[in-house]
């Protein structure tokens, strides 16, 4: 299957053929800035200009503001992420406009075609972002260059980085994404992908008034929901957990994998990939749609697409690309995530349950005896990281996700990337022998758990190649202070949590 898709897309074509690149900027921008700037300076810099930004919505002002405060930083820290589109993408994704049962089952598999990197200079980044303001649908016209060439005609900016392509296996190659001025006319066949219309879902999100639909679908699987073990895989900078239930049934909470080739090539991560590939899950639950929580589908067993999927509303997430409560947020979802959701909708919509973004701060499903519960947070900005002022916080994009708790003789909390302080208060009425640290153990608000008995384990899932300051020392200290022994996935293929 991978070879078929590779042949169609030709992801590493280096003959300067034109492609489109759609920029998406994630919340790590502010996290990366925070590594270089003190709390107070960061807050004052944004606060001083917030009224102007709110009134005008001008990206130019943000660029000038950031330029002023980072003038003494030698390397501009913003990673740029692009979804790439070429002729092959158009041909393959045209399946979504067809009703062809053969294509549904035999000739298509969700794939990722992405580029991540850094501009060669602040000047290039500035030109890129200013040009972005004028670009319809948020795309750039580009070409890939894997040579040592440095002189280009009609160029706006050059981004150094890596092309990542995956159906199975993942292929990666270092090169340059050369951004050039958009042509005046676009072939109409590209438009359904550029404007996202081809990825819109038929399945309607489930809101709180339709709660019984979700409950009936899960209960109809007639599973015991008696958890035996939870396996937290070493997938580098990512999140991937399988829960084994009585009767050899499985639930995935996230199916992530690192984007870093360095981390994927570690022997422990390779072993983890082989292990989760063998699982045929009955249910897959996504905390949210970031790449490091979904990329593992490239190596998952194909039966994963026949499972019941419970996911937050990706299109609802797009609402959080605006300015709210005086805090700037940029959250653009990758086309790869949209493609995966659309495939699930296209292939077997009856088993796809999209949780509406209005359904907040509640338990959306509870099995008998509350052995397995699915929750949503309040989907709002947290009050601040360890008492810091805005905008030094976890934004709505991360808090948008789903949370899970499992109970047997021992209990487990899986929080995805969700901020502790905005989780439903009912979650904190329990003590958890196992806790998967939220957001790869990043900066986080105080954990609302009192100090309890020892023999508890906090598991940290992060990668050696991350440049976000994970794990955060204060986060680790707070986990230790409330009685958790710290365990990391590093050096292991997985961490096993025995719940029996």
- pLDDT at 328 > cutoff 50: no
The answer to whether the CB of 116 falls within 8 A of the CB of 164 is: yes
The answer to whether the CB of 499 falls within 8 A of the CB of 412 is: yes
**Interatomic CA distance for residues 376 and 470, integer angstroms:** 24
pLDDT digits (tens, 9 = 90+) for 221-278: 999 899 999 999 999 999 999 999 999 999 999 999 999 999 999 999 999 999 999 9
| Element (DSSP H or E) covering residue 245 | strand 240-245
**Interatomic CA distance for residues 22 and 113, integer angstroms:** 11
pLDDT of residue 443: 78
> Which of the residue ranges 65-69, 344-348, 380-384 would you say has the lowest mean pLDDT?
380-384
pLDDT of residue 38: 58
**Interatomic CA distance for residues 365 and 402, integer angstroms:** 11
DSSP reduced 3-state for 219: helix
Residues of the chain with pLDDT > 70, as a percent, come to 78
pLDDT digits (tens, 9 = 90+) for 136-166: 667 899 999 999 877 888 889 999 999 999 9
**Mean per-residue pLDDT, 94-105:** 68
**Mean per-residue pLDDT, 279-303:** 95
> Which alpha helices (H) appear in 314-371, and where do they start and end?
314-317, 335-348
Q: Which of 270, 234, 232, 239 lies closest to 440 in space, CA to CA?
A: 239
pLDDT of residue 419: 85
Give residue limits of the domains in the chain: 2-36+73-199, 208-317+332-498
CATH topology classification for 208-317+332-498:
Metallo-beta-lactamase; Chain A (3.60.15)
Q: How confident is the model at residue 44 (pLDDT cuts 50, 70, 90)?
A: low
Of 253 and 63, the structure prediction assigns the larger pLDDT to: 253
**Mean per-residue pLDDT, 332-359:** 90
Of 355 and 325, the structure prediction assigns the larger pLDDT to: 355
pLDDT digits (tens, 9 = 90+) for 434-460: 999 999 998 777 788 877 667 899 999
pTM higher than 0.85: yes
- CA-CA distances (angstroms) from residue 404 to 238, 376, 418, 488? 17, 9, 11, 20
pLDDT of residue 133: 67
pLDDT of residue 15: 82
Task: Give the Cα-Cα-Cα angle 369, 371, 372 (nearest 5 degrees).
Answer: 125
Q: How confident is the model at residue 347 (pLDDT cuts 50, 70, 90)?
A: confident
CB burial of 14-42 (b: ≥16 within 10 Å; e: otherwise) equals eeeeebbbbbbbbbbbbbbbbeebeeeeb
For 31, residues 6+ apart whose C-beta sits below 8 A from its C-beta are 442, 443, 468, 469
Of 308 and 107, the structure prediction assigns the larger pLDDT to: 308
The answer to whether the CB of 81 falls within 8 A of the CB of 350 is: no
Across the strands, what pairs with 40? none
**Interatomic CA distance for residues 463 and 257, integer angstroms:** 10
pLDDT digits (tens, 9 = 90+) for 387-398: 444 444 445 566
């Amino acid at each position: 299957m991978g070879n078929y898709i590779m042949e169609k897309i030709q992801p590493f074509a280096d003959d300067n053929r034109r492609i489109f690149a759609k920029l998406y900027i994630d919340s790590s921008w502010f996290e990366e800035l925070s590594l270089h700037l003190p709390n107070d300076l960061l807050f004052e810099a944004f606060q001083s200009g917030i009224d102007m930004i709110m009134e005008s919505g001008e990206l130019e002002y943000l660029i000038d503001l950031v330029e002023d405060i980072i003038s003494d930083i030698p390397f501009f820290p913003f990673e740029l992420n692009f979804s790439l589109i070429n002729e092959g993408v158009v041909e393959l994704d045209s399946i979504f406009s067809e009703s062809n049962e053969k294509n549904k089952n035999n000739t298509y598999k969700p794939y990722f075609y992405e580029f991540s990197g850094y501009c060669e200079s602040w000047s290039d980044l500035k030109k890129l972002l200013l040009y972005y303001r004028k670009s319809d649908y948020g795309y750039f016209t580009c070409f890939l260059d894997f040579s040592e060439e440095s002189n280009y005609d009609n160029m706006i900016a050059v981004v150094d980085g890596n092309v990542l392509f995956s159906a199975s296996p993942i292929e990666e190659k270092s090169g340059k994404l050369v951004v050039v001025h958009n042509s005046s006319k676009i072939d109409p066949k590209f438009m359904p992908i550029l404007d996202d219309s081809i990825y819109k879902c038929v399945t309607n999100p489930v809101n709180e008034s339709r709660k019984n639909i979700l409950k009936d679908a899960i209960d109809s699987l007639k599973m015991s929901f008696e958890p035996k073990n939870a396996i937290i895989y070493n997938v580098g900078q990512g999140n991937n957990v399988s829960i084994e239930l009585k009767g050899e049934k499985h639930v995935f909470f996230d199916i992530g994998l690192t984007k870093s080739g360095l981390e994927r090539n570690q022997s422990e991560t390779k072993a983890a990939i082989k292990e989760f590939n063998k699982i045929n899950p009955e249910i897959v639950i996504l905390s949210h749609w970031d790449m490091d929580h979904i990329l593992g589908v490239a190596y998952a067993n194909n039966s994963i697409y026949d499972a019941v999927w419970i996911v937050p509303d990706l299109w609802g997430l797009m609402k959080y690309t605006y300015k709210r409560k005086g805090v700037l947020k940029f959250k653009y979802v990758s086309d790869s995530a949209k493609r995966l959701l659309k495939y699930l909708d296209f292939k077997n919509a009856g088993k796809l349950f999209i949780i509406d973004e209005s359904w907040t701060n509640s338990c959306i499903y509870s099995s008998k005896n509350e052995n397995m519960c699915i929750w949503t947070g309040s989907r709002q900005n947290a009050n601040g990281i360890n008492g810091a002022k805005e905008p030094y916080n976890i934004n709505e994009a991360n808090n948008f996700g789903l949370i899970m708790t499992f109970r047997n003789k021992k209990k487990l909390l899986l929080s995805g990337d969700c901020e502790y302080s905005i989780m439903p208060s009912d979650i904190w009425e329990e003590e958890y022998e196992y806790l998967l640290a939220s957001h790869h153990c990043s900066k986080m608000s105080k954990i609302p758990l009192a100090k309890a008995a020892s023999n508890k384990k906090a598991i940290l899932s992060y990668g050696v190649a991350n440049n976000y300051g994970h794990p955060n020392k204060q986060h680790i200290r707070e986990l230790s202070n409330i009685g958790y022994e710290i365990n990391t996935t590093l050096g292991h293929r997985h961490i096993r949590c025995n719940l029996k």
